[in-house]
């Protein structure tokens, strides 16, 4: 052990990042889902979705529910394709390092262990939460930050299914201090979908497309009051030309064109384009992360979540934790996210404590990069479970769970074997 290649999978709710340990970039990043166009039988697995030409009415089936891996039917298909067709590796010759969400349930871990060793037959396996791995990659990127070098910081993981604030000390997660908002990129996409469907064109069945629109047009407002005022004046108005299915597949943004009341413009008549009008949706959607009560979720916003997490840690750590707040995850890529978070967090933190909100070069790949580094370090061999060990003691002993608890894991696995 220790010399076999290790496959590193950052298994996210939205996208799956896959590659070999020791490399600086993942080999591939693709939707962690199986997709199918409405009314058609053919489905597309994982990376096939990237090259799929028709984004309209694409329905995705995802293996994750509320951020946890529950549907192995889907995940199995995605993984087989990724390991064999993309990486061209035989699991029997490799180790596997994957990320898992915080507070993963033992029943889910049991199903994962069974899958990894019995279905794929990996030689060794380790599951790590993504957040310490992100911090690890960040420490490598910014060695000049004392807190990062010491492995102390708060990782804000604004993911697809939920958002976590995870305080770490010495590279280890302070579990009782971890805080979560039950809101992520998926809810934001669905919220935008709901808004535009009500105000403009019905897009309720175009989740895939709306996600793309969200990534293209949304931004975090630095000053909500001012932006609302300018939105009323039309400063943020944007038109999104929906794909026609012939010339383009994802549509494009264009500046609003002035038109006379009651008359359709020449371009409209010629092209018969369907245009989605966007105005305050552009920043009111990401705004929900900073104040979830906007959509009726009785939870605090991001800044207070971070504060709650830090306050739950030892007071001596507070200055170091606040000095190294690291934003990761797909939702953090929204323009203006970092600045707004700093602006909201600063007034909550005592004045003599320095606040540093940082963003790695790629917030989505941070966890994978850290995992890649971890996969070749000796720590991996120390932490990994080998197949021989698994075969000997089984997952009940490894996870220290009772046979009754294992029954919970049963359905997850056994439905997959048919």
Partner 1 sequence: MLNSDPGRRSVRARKFSKGISTVSLAERENARNARLDALEDDGATGEGIVGDSDEEFVIQDSDEELELGVSAAKKRGEKKKGPKRKTRAMLEAERRGPITFASLLEMAGDADGGPAKEAEVMYTNAAVGPPQHSAARKWCSVCGFAAPYKCVRCGSRFCTRKCYAVHTETRCLKFVG
- The one among 1, 22, 61, 391 contacting partner 1 by CB under 8 A: 61
* Minimum CB distance to partner 1, residue 373 (Å): 27
**Rule CB under 8 A: which of 203-232 touch partner 1?**
204-205, 207, 228, 231-232
* Minimum CB distance to partner 1, residue 275 (Å): 18
Q: What angle separates helix 130-141 from helix 366-376, to the nearest 10 degrees?
A: 90
Residue with Cβ nearer partner 1 (134 or 381): 134
**Rule CB under 8 A: which of 179-198 touch partner 1?**
179-182, 186-187, 190-191, 194-195, 198
- The one among 20, 89, 241, 399 contacting partner 1 by CB under 8 A: 399
DSSP bridge pairs for 44: 35
* Minimum CB distance to partner 1, residue 42 (Å): 5
The answer to whether residue 348 forms part of the interface with partner 1 (CB under 8 A) is yes
Residue with Cβ nearer partner 1 (250 or 388): 250
- 3 state SS for 248-298: CCCCEEECCCCCCCCCCCHHHHHHCCCEEEECCHHHHHHHHHHCHHHHCCC
282/259 Cα distance (integer angstroms): 22
CA angle 46, 109, 418 (to 5 degrees): 60
Residue with Cβ nearer partner 1 (292 or 363): 292
The answer to whether residue 264 forms part of the interface with partner 1 (CB under 8 A) is no
Evaluate whether 364 touches 15 at the Cβ level (below 8 Å). yes
Q: How many CB atoms lie within 10 A of CB 262?
A: 5
Evaluated on CA atoms 216, 222, 225, 229, the torsion sign reads negative
**Rule CB under 8 A: which of 73-112 touch partner 1?**
73-74, 76-77, 80-81, 84-85, 102-108
- Provide CB contacts within 8 A for 260, sequence distance 6+: none
Piece in contact with partner 1 (CB under 8 A), picked from 1-9, 66-74, 144-152, 326-334: 66-74
**Rule CB under 8 A: which of 7-46 touch partner 1?**
34, 36, 38, 41-45
The answer to whether residue 234 forms part of the interface with partner 1 (CB under 8 A) is no
**Rule CB under 8 A: which of 326-345 touch partner 1?**
none
* β pairing state of 124-129 and 385-386: antiparallel
**Rule CB under 8 A: which of 119-138 touch partner 1?**
none
* Minimum CB distance to partner 1, residue 377 (Å): 27
CA angle 193, 196, 202 (to 5 degrees): 85
The answer to whether residue 67 forms part of the interface with partner 1 (CB under 8 A) is yes
For residue 399, CA distances in Å to 285, 298, 409 come to: 40, 34, 12
């Amino acid at each position: 052990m220790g010399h076999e290649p290790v496959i590193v999978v950052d298994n996210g709710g939205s996208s799956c990042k896959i590659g070999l340990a020791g490399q600086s970039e993942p080999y591939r990043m693709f939707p962690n889902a199986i997709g199918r166009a409405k009314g058609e039988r053919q489905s597309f697995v994982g990376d096939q979705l990237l090259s799929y030409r028709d984004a309209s009415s694409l329905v995705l089936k995802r293996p994750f529910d509320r951020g946890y891996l529950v549907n192995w039917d889907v995940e199995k298909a995605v993984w087989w394709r990724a390991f064999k067709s993309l990486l061209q590796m035989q699991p029997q010759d490799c180790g596997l390092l994957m990320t898992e969400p915080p507070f993963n349930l033992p029943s889910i871990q049991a199903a994962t262990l069974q899958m990894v060793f019995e279905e794929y037959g990996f030689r060794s396996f380790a599951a790590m939460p993504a957040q310490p791995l992100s911090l690890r990659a960040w420490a490598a990127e910014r060695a000049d930050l004392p807190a990062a070098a010491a492995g102390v910081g708060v990782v804000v993981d604004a993911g697809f299914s939920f958002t976590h604030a995870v305080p770490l000390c010495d590279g280890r997660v302070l579990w009782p201090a971890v805080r979560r908002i039950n809101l992520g990129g998926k809810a934001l996409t669905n919220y935008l979908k709901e808004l535009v469907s009500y105000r403009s064109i019905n897009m309720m069945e175009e989740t895939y497309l709306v996600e793309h629109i969200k990534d293209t047009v949304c931004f975090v407002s630095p000053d909500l009051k001012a932006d609302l005022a300018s939105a009323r004046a039309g400063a943020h108005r944007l038109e999104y030309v929906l794909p026609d299915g012939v010339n383009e597949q994802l549509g494009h943004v264009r500046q609003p064109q002035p038109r006379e009341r009651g008359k359709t413009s020449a371009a409209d008549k010629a092209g018969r384009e369907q245009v989605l009008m966007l105005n305050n949706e552009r920043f009111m959607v990401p705004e929900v992360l900073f104040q979830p009560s906007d959509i009726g979720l009785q939870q605090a916003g991001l800044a207070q979540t971070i504060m709650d997490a830090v306050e739950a840690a030892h007071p001596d750590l507070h200055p170091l934790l606040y000095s190294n707040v690291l934003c990761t995850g797909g939702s953090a890529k929204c323009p203006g996210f970092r600045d707004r978070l700093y602006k909201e967090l600063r007034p909550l933190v005592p004045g003599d404590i320095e606040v540093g909100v940082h963003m790695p070069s790629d917030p989505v790949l941070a966890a994978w990069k850290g995992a890649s580094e971890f996969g070749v370090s000796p720590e991996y061999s120390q932490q990994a479970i080998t197949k021989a060990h698994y075969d000997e003691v089984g997952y009940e002993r490894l996870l220290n769970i009772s046979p009754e608890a294992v029954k919970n894991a049963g359905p997850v696995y056994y439905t997959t074997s048919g």
